[in-house]
Amino acid sequence: MLSNSLIELDRRHLIHPVSSYRGHEELGARVLKSARGAIVTDMNGHELVDGFAGLWCVNAGYGQDSIAEAAARQMRELPYATGYFDMGSEPAIRLAAELAERAPGDLNHIFFTLGGSDAVDSTVRFIRYYWHCKGQPQRDQFISIEQGYHGSSTVGAGLTALPAFHAGFGLPFSWQHKIPSHYSYRNPAGDTPEAIIAASLQALHAKVEELGGPERVAAFYAEPIQGSGGVIVPPKGWIKAMYDACAAMDILFIADEVITGFGRTGPLFACSDEGIVPDFMTTAKGLTSGYVPMGAVFMSDRVYDVMADGAGAAAIGHGYTYSAHPVSAAVGLEVLRLYENGLLANGRRAGERLMAGLEKLRDHPLVGDVRGRGMLAAIELVVDKAKKTPLPTDAAPARRIFDRAWQQGLVIRAFANGVLGYAPPLCCTDDEIDMILERTRLVLDATLEDADVRRAM
């Protein structure tokens, strides 16, 4: 059978990202064949609602013909143009201008990358260069947050705070530091916004002092909502408080919007709702809705001018062969048009339905927490709600839950700690949101019957 030979070829030759290589050889691949809207079909013809938009990226939904046409048109006309040697292409210039127009405040300068990891990596290079131009090269310490994710480049993986990205890789670097997450469901400071904000501010100031004071600290990285750490939503006012604290110490603030950007939480950028203008904003995923790879670093006028004046006639040595790729840019322009011609509005409506439906799952014996904003949400499963006891991890319930959801016709993200993540395409219909919710309840009911879960309750 064709499918069997494909799975065998995959076992032998394709290395999957962030996976157990031996575990994958045993389990084999789930191969997707086609998709339309929010529905994906695997090679056995099994149809599933994609409650995770690929990897939180297919915000526009699958099968948007106008995106495919924009890419094909650009490939025929001009498939490639370098940005080196002051060259460029029309779609890249137009996309940069459109993005700058919509970005908060003075984030007027756009550097295009291939995805989120190299967007984060680029900010680290830009920031070092910025402090060099300012005559403060000793500002070389970077702070990020526990449970944060900032990509898988060597430098970004060090800013990331997930153990699997560090163990065995010699990371983090000695200049990369973390403060505790604002995770309100399990926060030693308590669960009120005031207590959590005060604890984060205190942790930031303590870390800065430990590093020798603000004059040693280059930058602070935060996701408006922590994604890969388990969809952890900070209390209202948290981002503004952290931003103000950084600004008062002249520490650059980077909003990593790789997941939250492009309508995922409601507005085009989550920052716009927070009353801040970060020094840098990193984006990817929804920028091209996953149809082709692309990321974008948004740089403020303030930072740009320091770097531009500091370098003078010298070249600033950072860039990629595929920076500002014209095909990706053409896709980005079309995706942006779709967002503004109804997709953002539909996402906001569907997001309300999703959040309201997930809230109703609080009555389920396994659901300890429900959190999210817009089309980015999670439920956290526990075996004892009062004590917040996590699911037993010895029998890998995450894998079991993922498999069960798959059988029910639902793709979700099942985190190892019993958190289920949701990030459906913004094009979801009411029926599709209801399918996500109903299938989730079936999965939870089945999990409740698992012997190890019952024993732990």
Instruction: Give all strands (DSSP E) within 8-68, no chain letters.
Output: 32-36, 39-42, 47-50
- Taking the C-alpha atoms of residue 59 and residue 104, their distance in angstroms, rounded to an integer, is 21
Q: Are 108 and 303 in contact (CB under 8 A)?
A: no
Count the alpha carbons within 13 Å of 310 in the hemisphere toward its beta carbon.
Answer: 19
Alpha helices by DSSP H, 78-112? 90-102
Least spacing, CB of residue 237 vs ligand PMP, in Å:
21
φ/ψ of residue 46, rounded to 5: -75, 125
58 or 259: CB nearest ligand PMP? 259
Least spacing, CB of residue 421 vs ligand PMP, in Å:
11
Length of the chain (residues): 457
115 or 278: CB nearest ligand PMP? 115
Residue 96 is given by DSSP the state H
Q: Are 454 and 383 in contact (CB under 8 A)?
A: no
| Single residue of 284, 336, 414, 428 touching ligand PMP by CB under 6 A | 284
367 or 422: CB nearest ligand PMP? 422
Q: Are 140 and 132 in contact (CB under 8 A)?
A: no
User: Of all helices (H) and strands (E), which one includes residue 338?
Assistant: helix 326-338
| Single residue of 89, 117, 288, 408 touching ligand PMP by CB under 6 A | 117
Task: Pull the structure tokens for residue 78.
Answer: 């001009």
**What residues from 10 to 69 belong to the interface with ligand PMP (CB under 6 A)?**
none
Least spacing, CB of residue 391 vs ligand PMP, in Å:
23
Least spacing, CB of residue 149 vs ligand PMP, in Å:
5
Least spacing, CB of residue 118 vs ligand PMP, in Å:
7
What letters, b where the CB count within 10 A reaches 16 and e where it falls short, cover 348-381? bebbebbbebbeebeebbbbbbbbbbbbbbbbbb
**What residues from 83 to 112 belong to the interface with ligand PMP (CB under 6 A)?**
none
Contact code string over 204-233 relative to ligand PMP, x by CB under 6 A:
-------------------x---xx-----
**What does the longest C-alpha to C-alpha distance in the chain come to?**
69
Contact code string over 179-208 relative to ligand PMP, x by CB under 6 A:
------------------------------
Least spacing, CB of residue 143 vs ligand PMP, in Å:
16
Least spacing, CB of residue 17 vs ligand PMP, in Å:
8
Mark the segment that binds ligand PMP (CB under 6 A) among 116-124, 163-171, 311-319, 447-455.
116-124
Instruction: Give all strands (DSSP E) within 77-201, no chain letters.
Output: 109-113, 141-145, 176-179
Q: What is the CA radius of gyration of the chain?
A: 22
Task: Report which of 256, 250, 285, 286 is spatially closest to residue 271, judged by C-alpha positions.
Answer: 256
Residue nearest to ligand PMP (CB): 116
67 or 231: CB nearest ligand PMP? 231
Size of the site for ligand PMP (CB under 6 A): 14
Least spacing, CB of residue 77 vs ligand PMP, in Å:
27
**What residues from 129 to 168 belong to the interface with ligand PMP (CB under 6 A)?**
149-151
Least spacing, CB of residue 129 vs ligand PMP, in Å:
20
Q: Is 288 one of the binding residues for ligand PMP (CB under 6 A)?
A: no
| Single residue of 83, 104, 116, 326 touching ligand PMP by CB under 6 A | 116
Q: Are 276 and 243 in contact (CB under 8 A)?
A: yes
CA dihedral over 365, 366, 369, 370, signed as positive or negative: negative
Contact code string over 240-279 relative to ligand PMP, x by CB under 6 A:
----------------x-xx--------------------
The contact set with ligand PMP (CB under 6 A) reads 115-117, 120, 149-151, 223, 227-228, 256, 258-259, 284
